[in-house]
Amino acid sequence: MKKHNFSAGPCILPQEVFQKASAAILNFNDTGLSILEISHRSKEFVAVMEEARALALELLGLTGKGYHALFLQGGASMEFLRVPYNLMKVDGKAAYLDTGTWASGAIKEAKAFGETVVVASSKADNYTYIPKAFEIPTDANYFHCTSNNTIYGTQMNQFPETNIPIVCDMSSDIFSRSLDFSKFDLIYAGAQKNMGPAGTTLVVIKEGLLNQTGRSIPNILNYQQHIDKESMYNTPPVFAVYTSLLTLQWLKNLGGITAIEKNNEAKAALLYNEVDRNPLFKGTAAKEDRSKMNATFLLENEAHKTLFDNLWKEAGVSGLNGHRSVGGYRASMYNALPLESVEVLVKAMRELERIA
């Protein structure tokens, strides 16, 4: 039986993407070669890379607006390092908003490069909300934030108005909601939530942002190198890029971000309504900051745990256990998760209420 996959990432991708990616492992675009054995310099794969880079910008509404899209390796964690390396000036400073484990991971890497100002943090409240009143130092080289906090189930709805370049880790909500993406100077996102399998990271960079630090940057860490080499500085993760392209094509055919956003809102509303209505559950994140991608919730009474776990597992739900730093449950409702899966989960929650 196919599971209802609520995993936080790697996570569910569209079934049609699994089918097309499987077919390409046997015979990629009628080349008589597998996508796993074809040269990354072949014209067939170069076309994949070009289309993936162009489509990522198109879906974000950034075509023709002076942005480059790259598909890199090292996960979003590598960008925690590449961002300060490429953007923080020698003797410069950077500003960071601390909204969770991943944000603080990015802060840790920046500190190795220079003065790193944490403009606000919700750590003292176990990251249950997004701090809103903060000031960004006017002499910071950039401001870094995390649009969706995968572990704590919070999401930024507002981004600061500032003249300082904004860098955003969108790993867990990219392509899920409409934003004015042109407000950001650098966006990065590990593929393994809304875009594809683990193994590649989308990095979108505005022209004019780079080459201002006075640092000597090793090639593999230098964004400019990757731009100059059209995301082929070294062997790219061929299969991850191809599968990401298939997912982006799926999203485009569906109507792009505005279409998927409606589905995501419907799924989140269904689940949060049940969390709020059902007396046996409670949400962990501040209501106004609740994530539409990752819903975190607890049982009011831990004694119901075995009963509830059996109910959702019997219903075919998978990947619902919360992260160890929050406990309870986390329902990740990425783009490819159908509404029907949320209905199945809500049914299990109602069943618990009925029999507990």
125 is in an annotated binding site: no
The yes or no reply on residue 127 touching ligand PMP (CB under 6 A) is no
Should residue 141 be labelled a site residue for ligand PMP when binding is judged by CB under 6 A?
Answer: no
Cβ atoms of 191 and 335 within 8 Å: the answer is no
Strands (E), the chain: 4-5, 67-72, 93-98, 115-121, 143-146, 148-149, 154-155, 166-169, 186-190, 201-206, 281-283, 294-299, 317-318, 329-332
- From the list 98, 173, 193, 267, the catalytic residue is 193
| Contact status, residue 332 vs residue 11, Cβ threshold 8 Å | yes
Asked if 244 is part of the footprint of ligand PMP (rule: CB under 6 A), the reply reads no
CB nearer ligand PMP, residue 24 or residue 156? 156
As a whole number of angstroms, the distance between CA 301 and CA 318 comes to 22
φ, ψ of residue 268 in degrees (nearest 5)? -65, -40
Active site residue 102: yes
Shortest distance, CB of residue 352 to ligand PMP, whole angstroms? 28
d(CA 186, CA 184) in angstroms, rounded, equals 6
Q: Which residue has the tokens 């009474």?
A: 301
- 3-class DSSP assignment, residue 25: helix
Least separation, in Å, of the C-beta of 27 and ligand PMP?
30
At residue 182's C-alpha, the angle toward residues 246 and 295, to 5°, is 60
Q: Please, which of residues 147-166 interact with ligand PMP by CB under 6 A?
A: 150
Q: What is the residue whose two structure tokens read 């590598």? A: 78
Taking the complex as a whole, how short is the minimal distance between the CB of residue 30 and ligand PMP, in angstroms? 33
Rounded to 5 degrees, φ, ψ at 122 are -110, 20
- The rounded distance, in Å, linking the Cα atoms of 171 and 184 is 14
User: Given the complex with ligand PMP, which of 76 and 87 has the nearer CB atom?
Assistant: 76
Give yes or no for residue 169 binding ligand PMP (CB under 6 A): yes
Do 4 and 327 form a contact (C-beta atoms < 8 A)? no
Residue 121 annotated as binding site = no
Least separation, in Å, of the C-beta of 81 and ligand PMP? Answer: 10
Q: Binding string to ligand PMP for residues 97 to 126, with x set by CB under 6 A, is what? A: -----x------------------------
Residue 297's DSSP bridge partners are 283, 329
Residue 168 near ligand PMP by CB under 6 A: no
Is residue 171 at the binding interface for ligand PMP, with CB under 6 A as the rule? Answer: yes
Site for ligand PMP in 190-229 (CB under 6 A): 190
Residue 36-75 contact track with ligand PMP, rule CB under 6 A, x = bound: ---------------------------------------x
Query: Annotated binding residue at 82?
Result: no
Q: Give the chain's length.
A: 356
Return the residue of 4, 5, 7, 9 that touches ligand PMP, per CB under 6 A.
9
176 binds ligand PMP (CB under 6 A): no
- For 166-189, give one letter per residue: b (16+ CB within 10 A) or e: bbbbbbbbbbbbebebeebbbbbb
Concerning whether 193 is annotated as a catalytic residue, the answer is yes
Active site residue 250: no
Distances (CA, A) of 328 to 267, 284, 324: 20, 9, 8
How many positions of this chain bind ligand PMP (CB under 6 A)? Answer: 11
Q: Is 192 known as a binding-site position?
A: yes
For ligand PMP, the binding residues (CB under 6 A) are: 9, 75-77, 102, 146, 150, 169, 171-172, 190
Binding-site positions for pyridoxal 5'-phosphate:
76-77, 102, 150, 169, 192, 234-235
Binding-site positions for L-glutamate:
41
Binding-site positions:
41, 76-77, 102, 150, 169, 192, 234-235
Residues tagged active-site: 102, 169, 193
